[in-house]
């Protein structure tokens, strides 16, 4: 008899039957459905099924959380339903059928920009730091900058421009590379095409506006001349060139005999792509980029700039939820290229702050609701640092009114920012650190705008929440116990999981302990940027920000679950029945095993400290995913009073991270 016979039957009925399933796959913990009509899925009935721990929808996929035994459930479900499971990538592609063409476009843009974002953030911080040391006159009665009075800092300022130039001037290289990576074509050809767009042989794109037309160098072909202009900092031209290369390569790879493809395909793809890039799509992209930048700039500097700013500030948070916000990266870069600064980025940073302030108010209102705080606190921190999705989807959208209050505060702050012409030097970090991207002469006004973005959403959310939140919303099902003074003195924090089981995080050895499964910094589960883990849906646990790349067994155990295709996670069972899940990164299942090596298989007996799998952190980061590695106790078995140690550096196979009786 099948293990999940009844549950499988219930899920198939509740999800709308076989006819409602367009595609189905699974990862380490979840069934991932692409449904023909998501409205036919009875969420309440599905979440009432015994083995189901929760549901949510993301990127067009309806996900049902099962747990470690999801592969068994998946096999029984597909056999009973008479449907064929597909790969994660196929399910992802099928899910795009549930999206509008705009959502698909924005999804693709997001996937192109995601690998580049870390570099943009780093470059923004570098430029922000350079602003402080070379643009603000702190010394000699406000007449001298740090660079002017110190040769050391002058050298640092000059040296750091290496990074700034690489990130922003050479941005087309990263864009074209990312396009070829996403489209599955030859990445080195993309890098070379990008380099031809920013070659030192060309007139720097930032100097075109100040160079007389008769002094711009040209390629002279006799019958025609082409201006030798570089595309430093240009986004749209680089994207168009990248797609030209991709489709040329796909065309020639399809029609070229395999025996000569190694010679013919690269040559016939790259050479025409370079010609088209400089003679056709480059000038067109330049014109489009300038036109977009001009429209936005006109809106931000015209007599109706207050209306433009108010609407943008008010609507930016909903824009983030639709994915349309990725387009602002291109507009911001275009404004920086055309005008030397951007008034758009300050409004984005203020919107981050405003939504975070709504979460701050919710955190104060729900300070006695431990379950809510597990979402509120990390969402608040993330939002104030410029990443709003956890706050938007985890808190503000859930209750509704915090989202609206944040939008109002963002709109008011945007009016102040644009009204006084606040500009950022570039795309930098968002949230509170976003001030480092602002030209120093605007810091005072931007601080006022920041205060507005903090106070208005907080006050509005607190007032509305005081009336709208129920006692259960504010207190939770069970009132959480507060940490004792003795515990605080010992550096012990308290965590309440989904089942309400208290776990005191402490660093202690002794009997009944598990060792660190990875070297790095141990952090609470709430800091994991995935609601299935951070909300303890799978169980209590912790996570490690890795400094190493090898996951080891935390104790003697049996390997009960492995992801053979993706190789990013495994499950262990101890002799006392305790079941563990170790999951490397977030959404790394989408990498389909690239960058992962599994050393064990299901049924293996492993000893404490024995390597389980190895991963490539750089590949994970390049794919746009976090490397944080999750450790969850999905079933305590016979163990009791399980506690987790966090807040310190740990060493794989040596440091005690879990204690139990």
Q: Which residues are catalytic?
A: 27
DSSP string for 299-333: HHHSTTHHHHHHHHHHHHHHHHHHTGGGHHHHHHH
DSSP 651: -
Check the CA dihedral 587-588-593-599 and report its sign: negative
Q: Which residues contact 133 (CB under 8 A, 6 or more apart)?
A: 145, 146, 147, 153, 156, 157
Give me 439's structure tokens.
């030209």
Residues in a beta bridge with 533: none
Residue owning tokens 């104030």:
384
**C-alpha span between 31 and 639 (Å, rounded):** 28
Confirm if 21 and 81 have CB atoms less than 8 A apart. yes
Nearest CA-CA partner of 434 in 419, 413, 405, 455: 413
φ, ψ (nearest 5 deg) of residue 256: -95, 135
H/E element, 576? none
Max CA separation in the chain (angstroms): 86
Closest residue by Cα to residue 165 from 206, 193, 225? 206
To the nearest 10°, report the CA torsion of 343, 345, 351, 354. -80
| Rama region for 581: left / alpha / beta (φ>0; ψ in -120 to 50; rest) | beta
Q: What whole-number distance in Å separates Cα of residue 103 and Cα of residue 353? A: 25
Q: Is 288 helix (H, G, I), strand (E, B) or coil?
A: helix
Strand 569-573 versus strand 579-584 pairing type? antiparallel
* φ and ψ of 621, to 5 deg: -65, -40
Question: Tokens representing 353?
Answer: 């702050």
Task: Provide the 10 A C-beta neighbour count for residue 464.
Answer: 19
3-class state of residue 552 by DSSP: strand
Residue with tokens 């100097």: 207
Handedness of CA 504, 555, 634, 651 (dihedral sign): positive
Which 3-state string (H, E, C) describes 182-228? HHCCCHHHHHHHHHHHCCCCCECHHHHHHCCHHHCCEEECCCCEEEC
Strand partners, 597: 614
| Tokens coding 525 | 């589960």
């Amino acid at each position: 008899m099948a293990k999940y016979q009844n549950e499988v039957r219930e899920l198939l009925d509740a999800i709308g039957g076989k006819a409602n399933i367009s595609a189905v796959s699974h990862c380490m913990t979840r069934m991932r459905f692409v449904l023909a009509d998501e409205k036919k899925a009875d969420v309440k009935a599905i979440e009432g099924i015994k083995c189901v721990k929760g549901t949510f929808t993301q990127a067009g996929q309806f996900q049902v959380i099962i747990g470690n035994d999801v592969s068994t459930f998946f096999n029984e479900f597909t056999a009973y339903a008479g449907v064929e499971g597909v790969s994660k990538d196929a399910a992802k592609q099928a899910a795009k059928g549930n999206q509008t063409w705009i959502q698909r476009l924005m999804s693709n843009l997001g996937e192109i920009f995601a690998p580049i974002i870390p570099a943009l953030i780093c470059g923004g911080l570098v430029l922000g730091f350079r602003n402080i040391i070379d643009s603000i006159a702190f010394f000699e009665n406000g007449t001298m900058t740090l660079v002017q009075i110190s040769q050391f800092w002058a050298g640092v300022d000059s040296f750091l421009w290496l990074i700034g130039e690489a990130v922003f001037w050479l941005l087309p290289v990263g864009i074209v590379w990312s396009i070829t990576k996403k489209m599955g074509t030859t990445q080195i050809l993309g890098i070379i095409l990008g380099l031809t767009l920013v070659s030192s042989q060309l007139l720097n794109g930032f100097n075109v506006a100040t160079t007389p037309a008769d002094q711009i160098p040209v390629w002279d072909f006799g019958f025609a001349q082409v201006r030798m202009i570089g595309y430093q900092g240009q986004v749209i031209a680089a994207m168009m060139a990248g797609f030209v290369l991709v489709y040329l390569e796909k065309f020639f790879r399809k029609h070229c005999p395999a025996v000569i493809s190694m010679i013919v395909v690269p040559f016939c793809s790259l050479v025409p792509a370079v010609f088209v890039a400089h003679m056709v799509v480059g000038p067109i992209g330049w014109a489009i980029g300038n036109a977009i930048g001009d429209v936005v700039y006109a809106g931000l500097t015209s007599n109706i700039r207050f209306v433009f700013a108010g609407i943008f500030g008010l609507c930016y948070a909903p824009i983030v939820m639709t994915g349309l916000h990725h387009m602002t990266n291109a507009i911001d870069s275009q404004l920086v290229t055309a005008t030397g600064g951007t008034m758009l980025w300050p409004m984005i940073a203020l919107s981050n702050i405003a939504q975070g302030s709504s979460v701050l108010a919710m955190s104060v209102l729900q300070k006695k609701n431990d379950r809510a705080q597990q979402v509120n606190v990390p969402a608040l921190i993330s939002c104030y640092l410029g990443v709003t999705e956890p706050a938007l989807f985890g808190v503000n959208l859930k209750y509704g009114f915090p989202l609206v209050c944040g939008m109002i505060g963002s709109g008011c702050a945007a009016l102040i920012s644009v009204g006084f012409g606040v500009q950022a030097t570039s795309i930098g970090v968002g949230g509170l650190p976003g001030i480092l991207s602002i030209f120093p002469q605007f810091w005072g006004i931007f601080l006022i705008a920041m205060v507005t973005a903090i106070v208005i959403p907080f006050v509005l959310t607190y007032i509305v929440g005081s009336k709208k939140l129920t006692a259960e919303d504010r207190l939770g099902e069970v009132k959480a116990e507060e940490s004792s003074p003795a515990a605080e003195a010992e550096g012990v924090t308290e965590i309440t999981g989904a089942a309400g089981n208290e776990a005191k995080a402490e660093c202690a050895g002794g009997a009944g302990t598990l060792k660190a499964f990875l070297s790095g910094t141990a952090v609470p589960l709430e800091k994991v940027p995935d609601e299935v883990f951070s909300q303890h849906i799978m169980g209590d646990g912790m996570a490690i920000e890795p400094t190493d790349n090898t996951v080891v067994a935390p104790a003697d155990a049996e390997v009960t679950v492995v992801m053979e295709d993706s190789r990013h996670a495994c499950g262990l069972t101890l002799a006392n029945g305790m079941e563990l899940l170790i999951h490397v990164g977030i959404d790394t299942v989408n990498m389909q095993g690239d960058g992962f090596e599994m050393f064990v298989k299901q049924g293996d007996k492993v000893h404490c400290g024995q390597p389980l799998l190895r991963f490539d952190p750089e590949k994970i980061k390049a794919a746009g995913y976090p490397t944080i590695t999750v450790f969850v106790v999905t079933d305590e078995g016979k163990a009791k009073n399980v506690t987790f140690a966090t807040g310190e550096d740990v060493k794989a196979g040596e440091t005690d991270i879990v204690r139990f009786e």
